Amino acid sequence: MQANVPQKHPLPSYLDPNDLGPWGDFLQQVDRVTPYLGKLGRWVETLKRPKRTLIVDVPIMMDDGRIAHFEGYRVQHNTSRGPGKGGVRFHQDVTLSEVMALSAWMSVKNAAVNVPYGGAKGGIRVNPQLLTDAELERVTRRYTSEIGLIIGPTKDIPAPDVNTNERVMAWMMDTYSMNVGETATGVVTGKPIDLGGSLGRREATGRGVFIVGCEASQRIGMPIQGARIAIQGFGNVGGVTGKLFAEAGALVVAVQDHSGTVYHPGGLDVTTLLAHVAAHGGVNGCPGTESLPSDQFWDIECEIMVPAALERQITEANAGRIRAKMVIEGANGPTTPMADDILTDRGVLVIPDVIANAGGVTVSYFEWVQDFSSFFWSEDEINERLGKIMRGAFGAIWQVASDHRVSLRTATFIIACQRILHARDLRGLYP
């Protein structure tokens, strides 16, 4: 029998070693933090493989009677600090590598803001725009039932992400509840208010982006008043971010989404733009705007750029063209490690996803606590607590970055990975 000697850094056998996708980006980020982990470094391999990976078949009956199959995933990256937590995205291009990376970034994010969760993420390879409402509901319910083996209010708590929303969360909560025989509101967050959702949850991610943007601006002496902002993605995150910055006196000069890129050097009217998106599904053709070829987005003169769409948007191909002083990552994983280095070398301050967009999961945590105690807080209370957590976490990250002379991303990873691996160390190895 061949001796079962472990390799030094074996990759999970289910990944293509020649194309690690976003998971490869995460592995590089972990390598950068390893020198700062001290004795906890003995546990670092834990971060390089997800704890649990579930791939499910999601068969549904289409409205015309045909049977369609979709591939679904739920990955629990780490549960040392608490139950898995993270969203579910519906997108035709979702891959296992992507969901693995997103689950790992949730572990880091949750530890960075010190909410008592591990990290998890889910996804279905489906284009929801091509489904009827009834088909979307069936996909959601069947997927929830299939991952029902591993989710639960104290096990793993899904939430909205790309192309999922309150309505999808209501179906997920109902399906899980039907299967377990009791109404379990705490199984998902981002629910409608009338089903145990939290005030302020819908706006929380964009609000968090705005809060860290203000904190960073203050530290580098750049006023928000009059700052020019370019936003990629104008969904829940980009839309709220744009609105809050505009209300604070900034000029949202450009917005790009799947429909096109709109521009106005004097500042777009964000209220009109939000109404246009609600009516037409995209920013393209909004009155009072100039339309730009999509690639020109990266050349726009601005002080702040907010990628708030999908991962791997800022790459070595465009990082050298970005003129902003600051990039605030509203999306998860929008900057590749190589692009991150280019931006840092050029003196562009990058506020990484794992703190910049942590406002969403922070208010998800508030929602979960409110559901457990069946006692609901006012929106002011929620926003105040959110502000306190985001500002406290950002201040600590800024301090670590200046103490060790590292980027804000590495600083966030230092704080978060130490928390995760300290918990791992305290718990010890079972059996």
Measured CA to CA, the distance from residue 123 to residue 322 in angstroms comes to: 31
Give 391-412 as a 3 state SS string: HHHHHHHHHHHHHHCCCHHHHH
Selected binder of ligand GLU within 156, 161, 203, 257 (CB under 6 A): 161
Nearest to 297 by CA among 305, 289, 309: 305
What's the start-to-end Cα distance of the chain, in Å? 25
Instruction: Tell me if 298 sits within 8 A of 342, measured CB to CB.
Output: no
Q: Does 412 bind ligand GLU (CB under 6 A)?
A: no
Instruction: Give CA angle at 311 (197, 246), nearest 5°.
Output: 60
Q: Between residue 357 and residue 376, which ones bind ligand GLU under the rule CB under 6 A?
A: 357, 360-361, 364
Stretch in the footprint of ligand GLU (CB under 6 A) among 79-87, 92-100, 298-306, 418-426: 79-87
Measured CA to CA, the distance from residue 173 to residue 186 in angstroms comes to: 8
Measured CA to CA, the distance from residue 125 to residue 221 in angstroms comes to: 44
Measured CA to CA, the distance from residue 183 to residue 177 in angstroms comes to: 5
Nearer residue to ligand GLU within complex by CB, 148 or 158: 158
Phi first, then psi, for residue 78 (nearest 5°) are -155, 140
# of chain residues touching ligand GLU (CB under 6 A): 11
Q: Least CB distance from residue 364 to ligand GLU, whole Å?
A: 3
Nearer residue to ligand GLU within complex by CB, 87 or 186: 87
Dig out the tokens for 283 from the structure. 């920013």
Q: Between residue 266 and residue 295, which ones bind ligand GLU under the rule CB under 6 A?
A: none
Q: Between residue 325 and residue 344, which ones bind ligand GLU under the rule CB under 6 A?
A: 332
**Cβ-based neighbour number of residue 59 at 10 Å:** 13
Residue 53 burial by Cβ neighbours in a 10 Å radius (0-12, 13-18, 19+) = middle
Nearer residue to ligand GLU within complex by CB, 37 or 82: 82
Q: Least CB distance from residue 87 to ligand GLU, whole Å?
A: 3
**Cβ-based neighbour number of residue 66 at 10 Å:** 8
Across the strands, what pairs with 84?
156
The residue of the chain with the least Cβ separation from ligand GLU equals 87
Nearer residue to ligand GLU within complex by CB, 86 or 238: 86
Across the strands, what pairs with 254?
230, 263
Residue of 8, 48, 51, 121 marked active site: 121
Selected binder of ligand GLU within 50, 82, 84, 86 (CB under 6 A): 86
Active site residue 388: no
Selected binder of ligand GLU within 189, 232, 410, 412 (CB under 6 A): 189
Selected binder of ligand GLU within 74, 77, 81, 85 (CB under 6 A): 85
Q: Does 307 bind ligand GLU (CB under 6 A)?
A: no
Stretch in the footprint of ligand GLU (CB under 6 A) among 177-185, 333-341, 356-364, 414-422: 356-364
Selected binder of ligand GLU within 60, 159, 262, 342 (CB under 6 A): 159
**Cβ-based neighbour number of residue 347 at 10 Å:** 7
Q: Least CB distance from residue 386 to ligand GLU, whole Å?
A: 12
Catalytic machinery residues: 121
Q: Which residues make up the interface to ligand GLU (CB under 6 A)?
A: 85-87, 159, 161, 189, 332, 357, 360-361, 364
